[in-house]
Amino acid sequence: MNRLNRSFVRFMLILGSLLVLAALCTLIVKKLPTQVKPQGKDFQSIDSELVSWDGLSEPKAILQHLDEIQRSVINSGEALSLLKRYRTLAEGARTEVLKSQLTDLYNYVSTGLYKKFPERPELFTVVLDSFLQVPRLLTDSELELLKHIEPRFINAENAALLMLVLHKARLADNPERFSKLTYGPVLLKELQPYVPLPAYEVLAFALSGNLQGALAEGNKLNGIPGKGPLILANLLYDFGSPEEAARLFHSLYESEGRLSYKLQEADSYLKAGKVQSARSIWESLYGDLSGSDVGLVLYNLGSMAETASDRRAYFTRLLDMERMHEYAILQYSRLLPAMDAISYLKQSPIFEQHALLQLETIRRQEVEQSTGPMVASLWFLLNRFPRDERLYHWAAWYLYRIGNTEELGRLLTMAQENHIENPALLLYKALIVMEQGRLSEAEALLASYTKTAWYIPANLAKIYERTYRITKAIEFYQLAASLAHNSLVESRLYEQVANCYVILGRESDARRSYEYALQLNPDNITAAFALQKLERNQK
C-alpha cells in the first residue's frame, strides 16, 4: 500500500474517542514534571540554547550537552528531564530531514533510558510517545519491548497511546496478533471507560476474533448517521472481506459525497487484488482532488502503470507538484538509462540529504564500475548515514554477492554498533560462518531468531539437512513456508520438504509435497521433474 497512513487513520476512526485520550497522553508527555532536581546538570543553559535555536541548523552544541548529561544520568527523574529536552528539539525542527533525525534520536535515547530505569510509568509513557513519533517502522527490539510489557504499567493515562502504538506496530490489527499479547485483557479494561459502549464492544469482539459479534455491535451505531456503516466498512477491510468493504465505502460516498470514501473504496479493491478497479477510481478522482491526495493518487497510478510511458507521465506530473518527493524522484530515475539516471539523481535538490537517492546512484553504477570503487562508495555513504537500515540491507547483499566476506564482517560489526537490527544481517552472518564450516555456530545464530522472516528458518533447515537431521529440516522448511506468504517461495520450500521425504524413504509423503509445490506454482519445473522421477521409480 502506498497510502502508508491509511490503516492508521482507519484505526482511529474505529476507536473514535480514543483520539482525544491519545492527544491528552501526548500533552502529559510534554508537561511531565521534573520531579527530581538534577544535581550538577545545567538544564537551564540548555533551555536558553533551545530558545535561541532556529530549528534549521543541526543543534550540535545542544546535542553535545545532552549527550554528556545522558552518560551520567543516575535516576529516572533526571532521565525525564533529559527526555523533555530531546522531545523539544524534535518538535522544534523546521525541516523534514532534521525533524526525522531528531525524532529518531529522541526515540533511541528514551528507549535506552526506559531499559535503564524500568520502574517509572512516566518513562514508559515517553517511550510510547517516541514510538508513535518516529517516521519509520519499529525495529525488532522495539517490537519485543511492546510484546513483553508488564500489565502493571498499563493505566488510564497511557492505554490509548499504547493502543495506537500497537496498531502502528501491526500487533493489534488482527485477532491472532492481539491474542499473543499477555496484557491484552488489561489494556481493553483500561480503555473501556473512555470509549462509547457500542464502539468498545465492536473493538473487543473484533480483537477476540468474533467478527460476527463485532458486526452485530456495529449495527447498533446506525443511530449516528454514517457511523455504523463506516465502522462496518473498516472492520471488513481489516478483519473480513476487503471487496465487501469497497462496496460499503461506495455506498457511503453515494450518500454523503465525501471523496475520502472513494479513496478508501480504491484501497479496498487494491487489497482484494482488483488493481484495475482501484486504478479506475484513482483516474476518475484525479481532477476532483486537492492537496496531498493528488500526490497520493499520482504516485499510486505511476507505481501501477502498465507501460513505461504511462509511468513517466504520472511521475512527471507528481514531480511538477512536489519537486522533493523522494520516492517519485527514485521511481522516475528508474525509467532512465543508468548514466542519465545518475545525473538526474545528483541534480535533485534533496540528493545530499537522502541516503536512498545516493544509494540508487551506487546501484546504477554497479555495471559500470569494478568492485573496488563500489565498495568505497558504499562505505562513504554508510559513514554519512550510519543509522539508515536500508543501506545495510543492500550493502550486505552486495558484499556477500561479490564474495568480500572481510568487508561484510566489518559491515555487520558497524550495524551492531549502531543498533541496526534486520534479519537479513543475521542471515549473512550465519552464511559466512556456514561457509567456514562452522555449522554448529551458524545453527545457534539462526536458532536465536524468533520473528517472522521466512528465510531464517529456511536456512536453518538447510543446516539440519546437511547434518542429516532430516525430520528437523522438514519441520523448519514447513515453518518457513508458513511465513513466506508468497506462492513461488512456498512452492520451492515444499519442493525441499519433498526432497527430504525422499531421503527418508517416505515416498507417499514426498509425492504429496511435490504435488502441493506444483499446486502453488505450476511452473516449478524442478518439482515437476522430481515428481515424474519419483513416479517412474515406483512402477
pLDDT of residue 98: 75
pLDDT of residue 315: 92
Contact between 18 and 195 under an 8 Å Cβ cutoff? The reply is yes
Domain membership flag for residue 78: yes
Q: In whole angstroms, how far apart are CA 200 and each of 203, 221, 299, 491, 538?
A: 5, 11, 36, 42, 60
Looking at 166, 194, 222, the residue that finishes a domain is 194
pLDDT of residue 18: 42
Domain membership flag for residue 82: yes
pLDDT of residue 153: 86
Contact between 90 and 99 under an 8 Å Cβ cutoff? The reply is yes
Cell of 118: 524500568
Domain membership flag for residue 26: yes
* Mean pLDDT split into 10-residue runs, the chain, 539 residues: 37 39 46 44 80 87 89 86 90 76 88 86 88 75 86 83 80 71 84 65 66 62 56 68 83 88 90 85 86 86 90 92 89 91 92 89 73 84 89 90 89 90 88 87 83 85 90 88 82 93 90 88 90 84
75 and 157 fall within a common domain:
yes
How many domains are contained in the chain?
3
Cell of 520: 502453488
CATH of residue 518? 1.25.40.10
Burial class (CB in 10 A: 0-12, 13-18, 19+), 175: middle
69 and 114 fall within a common domain:
yes
Ramachandran area for residue 146 (φ above 0: left; ψ -120 to 50: alpha; else beta): alpha
Q: In whole angstroms, how far apart are CA 121 and each of 80, 127, 221, 261?
A: 11, 10, 35, 39
Domain membership flag for residue 517: yes
Cell of 441: 555456530
534 and 388 fall within a common domain:
no
pLDDT of residue 174: 62
Looking at 431, 451, 471, the residue that finishes a domain is 451
Distance between terminal CA atoms of the chain?
50
Cell of 128: 510510547
Looking at 421, 451, 481, the residue that finishes a domain is 451
26 and 40 fall within a common domain:
yes
pLDDT of residue 487: 79
pLDDT of residue 198: 59
Domain membership flag for residue 461: yes
427 and 506 fall within a common domain:
no
Selection from 268, 183, 187, 220 nearest residue 10 by Cα: 268
Domain membership flag for residue 301: no
173 and 27 fall within a common domain:
yes
- Cα 86 to Cα 62: distance, rounded to the nearest angstrom: 9
445 and 406 fall within a common domain:
yes
411 and 475 fall within a common domain:
no
493 and 422 fall within a common domain:
no
103 and 131 fall within a common domain:
yes
Domain membership flag for residue 87: yes
pLDDT of residue 214: 63
521 and 396 fall within a common domain:
no
pLDDT of residue 313: 93
446 and 456 fall within a common domain:
no
Cell of 367: 555495471
Domain membership flag for residue 368: no
Q: Which domain holds residue 396?
A: 384-451
The model's pTM is 0.51
